[in-house]
């Protein structure tokens, strides 16, 4: 892509370059991590640091997963207001989780290694999502609006199914499920941190060779094929990566609907639509919002559990704003 | 050079394209025909944008269903009717996407080709504007510029005159005619306006009900008798100042 002619002063132009902006976001994210780790350290610093380190790593994994998966989904569906959450990706994962609890029971569940369990759930979810989208996109060749509608309906239906299944559970199992279905950025599962982190990074790295194809894909199906993008292969690759990332973040912190919307749109307005810039920017903005927000809420205002509520509120407000101002595409 | 052999495409139960076999050589070829004749679908079949239900399409000797889409993109550029961009992109950035099949707009040569395409379509004054801020005609020309920046031998355009006022329509047809003559490009263009086809095209393919009704030079196709049957309406063709003028009704 050619550089746009510099109109502003050289310094301002340099600062508006995507690479410079990503570097600034990186510095801000690093600062947020440092503040979160080091602010108000109690006397026995080792223990607190270890605990905080785990939380901060978990939030980083979630930020990467949510930011990247939302940008990918918005490219594949050619719009700016959808997230994997709205399209029902995490509803599929939750249904698998709750069905699992119902089928094998809480006692066995507590006995099984969470990593093994998550691995099975991940494979199931990725399989279902890929099959569903292969069917919708490639076999039936449905119009994009119809696919979005199908996604919305599936998401709503599965959330209802999950709620219904919870009513069938005994109190023990119900308590296990309650932990799964509410987003919480602080109660991060220690055992899942490594496998989810590795898979999210792997999914992210796998995207690198198709970044430029994704740029062209954003121009729409016909134009992308005309430019020589292997449309089917790139779309399915993106869908698999989205499935893996959503399974990772949902397992770590629970479902998030609008958080991705917030970070993806912030990334577009800061660094533009090239995926080599927008995906890292979305991940970094996610890290700044999560870790910075958690620092402010926990250390500054003294209440630790409200961050998901605040973020989902802001994301939901942005969603309405985007719909009302017509900037949905 | 484009060769189709028995190309068939169904939309549900209707046959949109029904066993079309045509050879299209270098020059400007217009596809005309009534609504629903299968003109756009044939173009999409040649441009490998839809899967064929039967037959083969060869472009420069390459079977479009068997050749990698990336290789085809260096031989053939295709532009469809609906061109909306869901993202914020400047004209120059959009045209630069034309270099995508050649590895992106990285070298000075690539950038020269992009600048050339922008200039040829008269977009210099708006090259840094965003696509969604442009008029319909400017946007249309930006997409044609992108297709030209692909530097292909074959160019397929589906109703590129939509949204263009007479001045830009004439400019574009002259530009395409010039490219076909000077660079020996094979340009296929779906047209609604028979007058434009009669004025600018070297060859005309007339379609009806998914089949080729007649194929030949302007003088062979643009006749009162044939057009009347093709469009099922009254028509007169007069020769005025050496040009064929079509009078409907």
Structure confidence by residue, pLDDT tens digits, A214-264? 999 988 888 999 999 998 899 989 999 998 998 888 888 888 878 898 899
Q: Is residue A177 part of a domain?
A: yes
Considering only residues A108 and B220, tell me which one the structure prediction assigns the higher pLDDT.
B220
Three-state secondary-structure class, residue B58: strand
Nearest to B249, CA basis, from B110, A195, B240, B237: B237
Q: For helices A275-287 and A259-271, what crossing angle results, to 10°?
A: 130
Tens digits of per-residue pLDDT, A167-209?
887 777 777 777 766 666 666 777 888 889 999 999 999 999 9
Give this prediction's pTM: 0.87
Per the domain annotation, does A127 fall within a domain?
A: yes
Instruction: Look up the ipTM and state it.
Output: 0.91
Residue A271: give its domain's CATH number: 1.10.3470.10
pLDDT of residue A304: 54
- Give the max Cα distance, chain A: 66
Query: What number of C-beta contacts closer than 8 Å exist between A and B?
Result: 80
- DSSP-derived 3-state class of residue A261: helix
The DSSP secondary structure of B182-240, one letter per residue, reads HH--EEEEE-S-HHHHHHH-SEEEEEETTEEEEEEEHHHH--HHHHHHHHTS-EEEEEE
- Chain A residues whose CB is inside 8 A of the B83 CB are 220, 223
How confident is the model over A259-289, as pLDDT tens digits?
Answer: 898 899 999 988 988 999 999 999 999 999 9
The boundaries of the domain holding residue A203 are: 50-324
A14 phi and psi angles, rounded to 5 deg: -60, -40
Q: What share of chain A is helix, strand, coil (3-state, %, to 5)?
A: 80, 0, 20
Q: Are B67 and B46 in contact (CB under 8 A)?
A: no
Distance of CA A312 to the CA centre of its chain: 13
Q: Is pLDDT at A6 greater than 50 in this prediction?
A: no
Q: Are strands B203-208 and B186-190 parallel, antiparallel or unpaired?
A: unpaired
Compute the distance between CA of residue A258 and CA of residue A66 in angstroms, rounded to an integer: 10
The answer to whether residue A34 sits within a structural domain is no
Enumerate chain A positions whose Cβ falls within 8 A of a Cβ in B. 1-2, 4-5, 78-80, 212, 215-216, 218-220, 222-223, 225-231, 268, 272-273, 329
Q: Tell me the pLDDT of chain B (249 aa) as tens digits.
A: 899 999 999 988 899 999 999 999 999 999 999 999 999 999 999 999 998 999 999 999 999 999 999 999 999 999 988 777 778 889 999 999 999 999 887 899 999 999 999 999 999 999 999 998 888 888 989 999 999 999 999 999 999 998 889 998 999 999 999 999 999 999 999 998 998 999 999 999 999 999 999 999 999 999 999 999 999 999 999 988 888 888 988
Average pLDDT value over all residues in chain A: 83
Does the residue A147 lie in any domain? yes
* pLDDT classification of A8: cutoffs 50, 70, 90: very low
Q: Which residue of B has its CA nearest to A221?
A: B49
Other residues' Cβ atoms within 10 Å of the Cβ of residue A99: 15
Give the pLDDT confidence score for residue A3 in this predicted structure: 45
To which residue do tokens 């939750």 refer? Answer: A94
DSSP H or E segment with residue A109: helix A106-111
**Number of folded domains in chain A?**
1
Write the CB contacts of B239 (distance below 8 Å, at least 6 apart in sequence). B245
- Minimum Cα–Cα distance from B90: chain A residue: A4
Does the residue A314 lie in any domain?
yes
pLDDT given at position B156: 97
**A26 lies in a domain?**
no
- Residue A55 burial (CB < 10 Å; 0-12/13-18/19+)? buried
What separation in angstroms does the CA of A75 have from each of A3, A6, A81, A266, B206?
A: 23, 28, 11, 15, 38
Q: Do A228 and B69 touch (CB under 8 A)?
A: yes
Calculate what percentage of chain A has a pLDDT beyond 90: 28
Helix (H, G, I), strand (E, B), or coil: what is residue A240? helix
H or E stretch at A117: helix A114-133
In a domain, A108, yes or no: yes
**Tokens coding B87:** 């993202």
Tell me how close the Cα of A195 comes to any Cα of chain B, in angstroms: 35
């Amino acid at each position: 892509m050619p550089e746009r002619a510099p109109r502003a002063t050289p310094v301002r132009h340099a600062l508006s370059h995507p690479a410079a902006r990503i570097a600034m976001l990186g510095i801000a994210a690093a600062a947020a991590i440092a503040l979160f780790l080091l602010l108000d350290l109690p006397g026995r610093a080792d223990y607190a640091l270890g605990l905080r380190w785990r939380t901060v790593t978990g939030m980083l994994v979630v930020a990467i997963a949510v930011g990247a998966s939302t940008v990918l989904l918005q490219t594949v569906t050619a719009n700016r207001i959808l997230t994997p959450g709205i399209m029902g990706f995490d509803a599929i994962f939750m249904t698998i989780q709750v069905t699992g609890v119902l089928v094998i029971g809480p006692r066995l569940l507590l006995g099984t290694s969470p990593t093994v369990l998550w691995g099975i759930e991940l494979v199931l979810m990725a399989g279902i999502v890929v099959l569903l989208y292969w069917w919708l996109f490639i076999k039936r060749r449905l119009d994009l609006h119809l696919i979005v509608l199908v996604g919305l309906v599936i998401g709503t239906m599965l959330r209802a199914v999950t709620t219904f299944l919870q009513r069938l559970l005994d109190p023990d199992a119900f308590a296990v499920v309650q932990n799964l279905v509410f987003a919480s950025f602080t109660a991060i599962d220690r055992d899942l941190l490594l496998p989810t982190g590795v898979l999210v990074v792997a999914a992210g790295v796998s995207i690198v060779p198709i970044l430029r194809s994704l740029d062209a894909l954003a121009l729409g199906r016909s134009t992308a094929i005309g430019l020589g993008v292997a449309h089917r292969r790139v779309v399915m690759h993106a869908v698999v990566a989205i499935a893996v990332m959503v399974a990772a973040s949902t397992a770590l912190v629970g479902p998030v609907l609008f958080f991705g919307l917030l970070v993806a749109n912030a990334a577009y307005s800061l660094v533009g639509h090239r995926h080599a810039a927008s995906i890292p920017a979305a991940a970094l903005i996610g890290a700044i919002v999560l870790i910075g927000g958690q620092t402010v809420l926990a250390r500054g205002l003294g209440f630790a559990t409200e961050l998901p509520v605040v973020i989902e509120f802001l994301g939901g407000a942005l969603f309405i704003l985007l719909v009302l101002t017509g900037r949905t595409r | 050079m484009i060769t189709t052999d028995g190309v068939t495409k169904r939309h549900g139960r209707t046959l949109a394209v029904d066993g079309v076999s045509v050879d299209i050589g270098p020059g400007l070829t217009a596809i005309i025909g009534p609504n629903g004749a299968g003109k756009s679908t044939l173009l999409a079949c040649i441009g490998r944008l839809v899967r064929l239900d039967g037959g083969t399409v060869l472009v420069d000797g390459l079977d479009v269903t068997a050749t990698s889409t990336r290789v085809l993109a260096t031989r053939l550029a295709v532009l469809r009717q609906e061109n909306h961009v869901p993202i914020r992109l400047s004209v120059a950035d959009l045209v630069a996407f034309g270099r995508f099949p050649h590895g992106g707009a990285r070298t000075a040569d690539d950038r020269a080709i992009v600048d050339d395409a922008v200039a040829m379509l008269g977009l210099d004054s708006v090259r840094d504007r965003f696509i969604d801020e442009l008029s319909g005609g400017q946007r249309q020309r930006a997409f044609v510029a992108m297709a030209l920046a692909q530097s292909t031998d074959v160019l397929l355009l589906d109703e590129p005159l939509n949204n263009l006022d007479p001045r830009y329509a004439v400019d574009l047809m002259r530009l395409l005619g010039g490219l076909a003559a000077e660079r020996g490009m094979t340009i296929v263009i779906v047209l609604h306006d028979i007058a434009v086809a009669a004025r600018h095209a070297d060859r005309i393919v007339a379609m009806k009900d998914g089949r080729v009704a007649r194929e030949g030079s302007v003088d062979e196709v643009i006749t009162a008798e044939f057009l009347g049957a093709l469009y099922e309406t009254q028509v007169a063709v007069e020769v005025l100042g050496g040009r064929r003028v079509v009078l409907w009704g």
